[in-house]
A and B are shown apart, each in its own frame.
Chain A
């Protein structure tokens, strides 16, 4: 083999790093070939391109987000299992220290930015327009751009594992540790550029959904008639709009430090690393509320549907959502109480952090009161919702313990913290996202997921969760610090670590059951022919499953909160079926391949800057500019579905009244 090839392989393909990289290289190659072969064999290229890649339909974009989020949950979960395997016994050498650093970095980054974020965006897209009686989001083309930016950013980030090396400065990537001098190589650049690209998409999504909800609600849907999930999207979008610019600046300045040689956060030449930490957490703390607020929205929908009651305290639910979104900005310094900011600053942030518990408590009690004397059906979404309550209560209580600034000096950066944030992020966000996935799955695909396999998944995941994380609270008190690659045998941590690892495996089995459940249900899942399999309350269930691509043939008029439930109660459900005479041609946006190419151009730019190949970076940016100019000059981006076609579709769905 020529020596230049060997050099290339050693530097970029990392062939000296051992069997894990080789295995991954081979696996990625085989999967890629498999996908290409399958698509070609079944003649699916054209279908993929026309129906999915160029689509601007919010429902399809939502499904693509969901698929990516589940794949990323697998990747982040595999990282977690590797970490726990390494920590199962003392003095372990399953992973090298360097690999351990890379894996905890990618685990955290993927779970927050490439799993939780696309998962909430999946639900935003699938649910919001249907719930407010709209035909699409305010900016369908921009929505497609957001998706493709996320998609290509995720690809860029994951590519680091097999091409050039993964980031290893943790998901917070504090300088000066993440500066060029201490962390050369492409890994950290991958982190910075992938986050920048997906962050742009997230900001656009926040803007898009806020505009959608403010401007596109069906007539009669006043703000205080909006379903609570939609309200939670308002709250999350507001936080996205106000938080993500801080992340964009923090990582842009760090990128400049690494690529252009500036001195924002270096110790040399007057840089101030704490400024990065401030900017990062000015985004980072609100970020956890961004992902948990939509989960709160899911719980509100699920509890009302499966307790067959109107949500208790609707007004206080809305107020608490908005209050959480405001308080989220006054807590960021609790991530570095030990910085030395002084007692006054720490007191302010300690009290603000504890205050978040108040509106959150209001919400939890409202869910409990909604269940009280309700006729509860123990479906899968309801199970996850009920499991969330005690889990989040414990997580919230340990959060208040962490918010006590003087005590935080004891458990700062210990496993107590690890246990706390996994408890709120899994028990709050992931439980909610899974509940939401089960709840709206029939609406997306037209069939239910199998209950029996889902229960296996539920119990494995939940029991595994407590087995995994409860010991970590104790380990934290016993002095075990986060990000430790291994530990000596005489610390008294052995048993608890082993138990924790066993718990992680049990959770992994739970995830596998979800995969089996999805595969099994595609063939055997109960088909939903009514469009309303749960006997639910809000407008999306008035449509067939899956909804036609124009959503509503005639935009409904909303007269009440839980309008679909009220109409069913009053025997007026048929009023939401369109009359032939009312159907008009429907104005729709045209599909476009440009969002895909724009994402690709961003990928090329990001890839170029990762390796300091500036010509490639600027080539990619030029591609972005070309896409934007072409869009600015575009005029024929819409069309009308003829009324006859709508009538035909509605008739075939049996919906004409």
Chain B
């Protein structure tokens, strides 16, 4: 097509930009996704605020000290932070046009994410077995909601990354698939950043303070 530019976009000569930004149709989607991340950040911000308000409201039930399991959340952190790094390597492979490396790094990222979710589920099941359910106290309501919201984000991210992997495998590295790889990795890094706050504000402070 002579003018394959989406509705109203100015035509820009963009060969010096990274692959995923070269097509203006795709680059506007990346901007939209950044804006979405801003709203998601505020969502988590409100959950953190709620947690901080009620974290001492244990009502005689389990406290942070009694349920937070240091090896468990340390391993979770290790898996998630490493997966963010491998996710970055998949973006790098995408920029280099190396489809095989891209698929491999995406698969490794998914595997690490699954391990993270596995440990989180194990932790939650263990807590509930101790009687630490989210109906027990305001602290536990806030804890499970904050950490669980992050966990469900990660789970959705895993499905999404898997769908992206399938598309790259089928279609190769195109302007559309490269944007998809880039965006899902943005999401993944964002969840990583949120986890750093959960690790610090929930788990570490919970053990120490």
CB of B39 within 8 A of CB of A203, answer yes
Is A270 engaged at the interface, CB distance under 8 Å to the other chain?
yes
B174 — nearest CB in chain A belongs to which residue? A635
Tell whether A246 is near chain B: CB-to-CB under 8 Å.
Answer: yes
- What string of 1s and 0s marks CB contacts (under 8 Å) between B124-148 and chain A? 0000000000111111011011000
Contacts of A244 in B (CB 8 A): 39
CA distance A264 to B143 in the complex (A): 11
Cβ contact within 8 Å between A269 and B136: yes
Q: Which of B2, B7, B54 neighbours the largest number of chain A CB atoms within 10 Å of its CB?
A: B7
Cβ-based interface call for A279 (8 A): yes
Of residues 266 through 281 on chain A, the ones whose CB sits less than 8 Å from some CB of chain B are 266, 269-272, 275, 279
Return the contact of A269 from the options B39, B50, B59 (Cβ within 8 A). B59
* Residues in B whose Cβ lies below 8 Å from that of A588: 7
Over the window 545-564 of chain A, the binary record of Cβ atoms lying under 8 Å from chain B Cβ atoms (1 yes, 0 no) is: 00000111001000000000
B-facing residues in A581-621 (Cβ within 8 Å): 584-589
Residues in A119-174 with C-beta less than 8 Å from chain B: 129, 133-136, 138-140, 142
A253 to B46, CA, bound (A): 11
B4 & A587 in contact (Cβ 8 Å cutoff): yes
A343 at interface by CB-CB < 8 Å: no
* Min distance, Cβ A265 to any Cβ of chain B, angstroms: 9
- Indicate whether A216 reaches chain B with its CB closer than 8 angstroms: yes
When the two chains form their complex, are residues B141 and A262 in contact, meaning their CB atoms are under 8 A apart?
A: yes
Partner of B141, one of A216, A248, A263, A551: A263
Whether the Cβ atoms of A632 and B39 lie closer than 8 Å is no
Taking the closest CB of chain A, its distance from the CB of B64, in whole angstroms, is 14
A214 beta carbon closer than 8 Å to chain B = yes
Query: How far apart are the CA atoms of A445 and B125 in the complex, in Å?
Result: 59
Q: Does B58 reach chain A (CB closer than 8 Å)?
A: yes
Kindly state whether residue B111 has any CB partner on chain A within 8 Å. Answer: no
Min CB gap B6→A, angstroms: 5
Residue from the list B49, B50, B57, B134 in contact with A270, Cβ < 8 A: B57
Which among B8, B28, B50, B135 is the interface contact of A211 at CB below 8 angstroms?
A: B28
Cβ contacts under 8 Å, A142 to chain B: 32
Judging by beta carbons under 8 Å apart, are B35 and A207 in contact?
A: yes
Nearest neighbor of A249 in chain B, beta-carbon distance? B46
Q: What is the number of contacts between chain A and chain B, taking CB atoms within 8 Å? A: 152
Indicate if the CB atoms of A264 and B32 lie closer than 8 Å. no
Given contacts A215-B31, A271-B138, A632-B163, contact A264 B50 (CB under 8 A): yes
Q: Say yes or no: is B114 at the interface (Cβ < 8 Å to chain A).
A: no
CA distance A591 to B28 in the complex (A): 20
Residues of A within 8 A of B73 (CB): none
Q: Tell me the residues in window 522-571 of chain A with beta carbons closer than 8 Å to chain B beta carbons.
A: 550-552, 555
Mark out the residues of chain A between 230 and 282 whose CB falls within 8 Å of any chain B CB in the assembled complex. Answer: 241-242, 244-246, 248-250, 253, 256-257, 260-264, 266, 269-272, 275, 279, 282
Interface centre among B8, B28, B49, B137 (most CB of A within 10 A): B8
Interface status of B17 (Cβ within 8 A of chain A): no
A586 and B4 CA atoms in complex are apart in Å by 8
What secondary structure prevails in chain B residues at the interface with A? helix
Looking at A138, A271, A629, which has the most chain B CB atoms within 10 Å of its CB? A138
Report A345 CB to chain B, min CB distance, Å.
Answer: 15
Structural contact, B2 and A269, CB atoms closer than 8 A: no
B14 CB–A CB distance under 8 Å: no
Closest residue of chain B to A632 (Cβ to Cβ) is: B163
A208 contacts chain B at the CB level, 8 A cutoff = yes
- Whether A248 lies near B28 (C-beta < 8 A) is no
Whether a CB of chain A sits under 8 angstroms from the CB of B13 is: no
With A136-B7, A207-B39 known as contacts, the answer to whether A263 contacts B135 (CB < 8 A) is: yes
- B7 pairs with A211, CB closer than 8 A: no
A98 contacts the other chain (CB 8 A): no
Kindly provide the distance from the CB of B56 to the nearest chain A CB, expressed in whole angstroms.
8
* Alpha-carbon distance between A208 and B32 when the two chains are bound, in angstroms: 7
In the complex, whether A31 has a CB less than 8 A from a CB of chain B is no
B167: chain A residues within 8 A (beta carbon): 632-633
A219 at the interface (CB under 8 A from B): yes
- A646 to chain B minimum Cβ distance, whole angstroms, is 12
Within the complex, what minimum Cβ distance (angstroms) separates A357 from chain B?
27
A584 touches B2 (CB 8 A): yes
Q: Does A638 contact B (CB under 8 A)?
A: yes
- Measured between C-beta atoms, what is the minimum distance from B148 to chain A in Å? 10
Q: Which of A129, A246, A552 contacts B42 (CB 8 A)?
A: A246
Q: Whole-angstrom distance between the alpha carbons of A555 and B3 in the complex?
A: 13
| Chain A residues whose C-beta falls within 8 Å of the C-beta of B107 in the assembled complex | none
Q: With A248-B43, A264-B50, A270-B137 given, is the CB distance from A216 to B9 under 8 Å?
A: yes
C-alpha spacing A257/B135, complex, angstroms? 9
Q: Does B38 contact A (CB under 8 A)?
A: yes
Known: A262-B134, A269-B138. A135 touches B42 (CB 8 A): no
Known: A211-B28, A245-B46. A256 touches B141 (CB 8 A): yes
Q: How far is the CA of A272 from the CA of B36 in the complex (A)?
A: 29
B160 on the A face (CB < 8 A)? yes
Smallest CB-CB A-B distances: 5 pairs: A270-B57, A135-B7, A134-B8, A270-B138, A262-B141
Q: A249-B46, A584-B2 are in contact. List 6 more A-B contacts (CB 8 A).
A: A210-B35, A214-B31, A218-B10, A269-B138, A270-B59, A587-B6
- State the B residues within 8 Å of A (CB): 1-10, 24, 27-29, 31-32, 35-36, 38-40, 42-43, 45-47, 49-50, 53-54, 57-59, 61, 134-139, 141-142, 144-145, 159-160, 163-164, 167, 176
A to B CB contacts below 8 Å, 27 in the list: A133-B8, A135-B7, A138-B31, A142-B32, A207-B35, A211-B35, A214-B31, A215-B31, A216-B8, A249-B43, A249-B46, A249-B50, A256-B145, A257-B141, A260-B134, A261-B134, A262-B145, A264-B138, A269-B61, A269-B137, A269-B138, A275-B54, A555-B10, A584-B2, A584-B3, A589-B7, A638-B6
Q: Which residues of A contact B (CB under 8 A)?
A: 129, 133-136, 138-140, 142, 203, 206-208, 210-211, 214-216, 218-219, 241-242, 244-246, 248-250, 253, 256-257, 260-264, 266, 269-272, 275, 279, 282, 550-552, 555, 584-589, 629, 632-633, 635, 638, 640
